[in-house]
Amino acid sequence: MIELEAQDLGIGYAGKRLVEKLNFTVHSGDYLCILGENGSGKTTLMKTILGLKAPICGSLEFGEGLKASEIGYLPQQADLQRDFPASVEEVVRSGCLGRMKLRPFYSRAEKALADERMKELGITALRRRCYRDLSGGQQQRVLLARAMVATTRMLLLDEPVTGLDPEVTKELYRDIEMLNKDQGITVITISHDVEEALKYATHVLYIGGRLFFGARDEYLRHIGGEAAREPENAAEGGHAE
């Protein structure tokens, strides 16, 4: 079942084109890892998928009536105000809001869902603590819990492990894998950490210099082959189809 399809998509901001001719398809239950150099447009692509930025050209379509309220999103920490007075519980519960339409208060089921996600991520003990007083890793888990509360079909993660120590990183990847495998939630993640990402991803989208989209194994052959060949030849590999 196709959940997201990009055709000749061009993205950028302020009139500047970052990436053109992006073609990729995400099926329900896929784990897509977006790789690329700093500044190549990974975050811009994610924001375009989220509807926060308009595509410059081409099309980006959601399949099967995927709605914004079925999406969970983990933004980069840098996008948030660090001095905001908010408790962990308040932040995690706010993941429900997209689904609530005009209803003003959380239902019992929504509060229970938030509790469950906090438990899964081991942050229940922090629920009354102030978000800004937490360590980077704890903050990341709070935001992941919020994204998990928000999602029922698709989860988008922008560099989820930035600033985390290796131990926490491993746990976080396991949490995401669990969502993907056990609950069948489609995952799209941006990563710097190629090896770790390849361990869990089913598909890879590389943007920047040369584009690549394909299953993980193809990508492994692609980069294996690329290292052996001249860069020009490698460009013909298995591109952006």
Partner 1 sequence: MNLFETIAYYFTFPFVRYAMIAGVFIALSASLLGVTLVLKRFSFIGDGLSHVAFGAMCIASILKFTNNIPFVLLITILTAVLILWGGKKVRIKGDAMIAMISVASLAIGYLLINLFKPNNPNLSADVCSTLFGSTSILTLSVGDVILCGVLSGVVVLVFIFFYHKLFAITFDENFAQATGTKVRLYNLFLAIIIAVIIVLAMNLVGSLLISALIVFPALSAMRVFKTFKSVTVCSAALGVFSAASGILVSIVAGTPVGSTIVVANLLVFFLFMIVGLFAGRGRA
CA distance 198 to 32: 10
- For residue 64, the tally of other CB atoms under 10 A from its CB is 11
Place of tokens 């509360």: 149
Between 30 and 89, whose beta carbon lies closer to partner 1? 89
Applying CB under 8 A, does 232 fall inside the site for partner 1?
Answer: no
83 vs 195 by CB, closer to partner 1: 83
Of 61, 133, 217, 241, the residue at the interface with partner 1 (CB under 8 A) is 133
Which residue, among 194, 187, 200, 201, has the nearest Cα to 224 in the 3D structure? Answer: 194
CB of 94 to partner 1, least distance (A): 5
Cβ burial, residue 196 (10 Å; 0-12/13-18/19+):
middle
Please choose, out of 43-51, 185-193, 209-217, 223-231, the segment that lies near partner 1 by the rule CB under 8 A: 43-51
Identify the residue among 58, 98, 137, 238 touching partner 1 (CB under 8 A): 98
Residues touching partner 1: how many (CB under 8 A)?
39
Q: What residues from 62 to 81 belong to the interface with partner 1 (CB under 8 A)?
A: 67-73, 75, 79-81
Question: Which residue, 130 or 234, has its beta carbon nearer to partner 1?
Answer: 130
**In terms of CB distance, is 16 or 236 closer to partner 1?**
16
Q: Which tokens belong to 24?
A: 């990729």
C-beta separation of 156 from 48 below 8 A: no
Nearest to 47 by CA among 156, 174, 162: 156
Can residue 52 be called a binding residue for partner 1 (CB under 8 A)?
A: yes
